[in-house]
Amino acid sequence: MIQRDYLIVGGGVAAASACDSLRQYDPKGSVCLVCNEPFLPYQRPALSKSVLRESGINIDEIHDKSQEWYSERAIELRLGTLVREFNVERRLAVLENGQTIEFRKACLATGSRARRPTVAGSNLGNVIYLRGFRDALAIRELLGTEKYVLVVGSGYLGAEISSSLLCTGAKVSLLSRDKTIWQEMLDPETSHWLTDEYEKAGIQLLLNENLNGFEGKTVVKNVQTKSGLRFPAGLAIIAIGVEPNLQLVANTPLSSPSGCPVNEYLETDEKGIFAVGDIALYPDRVYGGARRITNFEMARSQGMTAGANMTGRKRQKFEVVPSSWAEVLGMRFDFVGDFSTPHIWADIEGSRASKHFIARYRRGEVLIAAVLCNRQSEEIRSIQEEVRVSVLSRPKK
């Protein structure tokens, strides 16, 4: 039986940040991080950005923290290791090799997996779901032989992938049931403007179309839509959303259809067990309600909060105005605030034509979100505070 004070399950930035914060407040407690990927925790946003755009990028270049960082802080790493069982009552984690870790406190940071379309041929070769470094490497390798690439999904990830592939020389098509790019995050005018930019860049847009299936014997050769379109594609990349990895705690109070419920300290109903990142269903202290948000900045922030709270020496409530960022067509977009419902109208500072603007979204007089295009980092922080103050000062119902 292996005994540890703290167990971190997961290998993303949320897990790394939990280790970081934990060590700041408890430099001596024993810590073990278990991850089923063979790599140190790394920054996944790079997968759809620099890793796709630039050949030869090594995993070391996107590690969140180095091997030396973990060694210096006496954090035990068990990489390429799957947690097979997680016993909440007995505080035990059984590894795939049969070893058992008895822990005092634990943080679940198991992330998410790609949602798969329920269509024929979705398991064919060359149909890729970009979630890990090896997926990105597979795409880069296939681009050497396959020139017709289809990206399915025009959301945050799909838009980034199709943009990044432009510099590879591939003929890129983007298939989506949406009518415009990022229509669920932008106001209609900005979304139409961005869609026009994609067309100008040379990406074939197949919008307002539903995927019907993939054709091929062992690898994908053609794609069909429900409207009857049929076209060649030797590589298909699926980006239609994600689902939380809750298999480890299935059929326990730590699992729900919407995520792993936690309180304002990111602790579950099981005292001493925390959840962060893509799986955490947390109470939103700014907007109200419960939310599960899947992005890099949220994972890092939650990891830092949970790590401190696990030690018991620095109790802090999790409160944040969400933010995330994307790179498409040579532009950087920062998203601040609540994008859970479509925005109908925008107050524009700057201009879309100059690719340098801020679009503010309001409900009545309350500023609830903003999109910044190619703006300075200090402006992002300022907008984040502007949104926070506006939302918290709204009249209570």
Task: Please indicate, yes or no, if residue 149 is contained in any of the structural domains.
Answer: yes
CB 79 within 8 A of CB 37: yes
Report, as an integer, the average pLDDT of 322-335. Answer: 97
Sign of the Cα torsion 154, 158, 162, 164 reads: positive
pLDDT averaged over every residue in the chain: 96
Q: Quick one: pLDDT at residue 342? A: 84
Shared domain for 138 and 161, answered yes or no, is yes
Q: Quick one: pLDDT at residue 314? A: 86
Q: What's the CATH number where 192 sits?
A: 3.50.50.60
Task: Please indicate, yes or no, if residue 122 is contained in any of the structural domains.
Answer: yes
Task: Please indicate, yes or no, if residue 48 is contained in any of the structural domains.
Answer: yes
Structural domain count, the chain: 3
Range of the domain at 195: 116-238
* Helices and strands of the chain, counted as H and E runs: 8, 25
Task: Please indicate, yes or no, if residue 320 is contained in any of the structural domains.
Answer: no
Shared domain for 153 and 102, answered yes or no, is no
CB 12 within 8 A of CB 44: yes
Shared domain for 220 and 274, answered yes or no, is no
Show which of 256, 279, 311 is a domain's final residue: 311
Report, as an integer, the average pLDDT of 24-28. Answer: 97
121-139: per-residue pLDDT in tens? 999 999 999 999 999 999 9
Give the whole-number percent of the chain exceeding pLDDT 70.
99
Shared domain for 277 and 206, answered yes or no, is no
Q: How many residues does the chain have?
A: 397
Q: Quick one: pLDDT at residue 56? A: 81
Shared domain for 141 and 46, answered yes or no, is no
Q: Is 362 exposed, middle or buried (0-12, 13-18, 19+ CB in 10 A)?
A: middle
Report, as an integer, the average pLDDT of 19-46. Answer: 97
Shared domain for 361 and 250, answered yes or no, is no
Q: Quick one: pLDDT at residue 396? A: 67
Shared domain for 278 and 363, answered yes or no, is no
Report, as an integer, the average pLDDT of 70-79. Answer: 98
Shared domain for 254 and 216, answered yes or no, is no
Report, as an integer, the average pLDDT of 179-189. Answer: 96
Task: Please indicate, yes or no, if residue 319 is contained in any of the structural domains.
Answer: no
Q: What's the CATH number where 378 sits?
A: 3.30.390.30
Shared domain for 125 and 179, answered yes or no, is yes
Shared domain for 107 and 249, answered yes or no, is yes
Task: Please indicate, yes or no, if residue 302 is contained in any of the structural domains.
Answer: yes
Shared domain for 101 and 133, answered yes or no, is no
Q: How far apart are CA 248 and CA 21, in angstroms?
A: 24
Tell which wins on pLDDT, 162 or 167.
162
pTM: 0.94
370-384: per-residue pLDDT in tens? 999 999 999 999 999
Q: Quick one: pLDDT at residue 85? A: 96
Q: Quick one: pLDDT at residue 397? A: 60
Report, as an integer, the average pLDDT of 15-24. Answer: 98
244-297: per-residue pLDDT in tens? 999 999 999 999 999 999 999 999 999 999 999 999 999 999 999 999 999 999
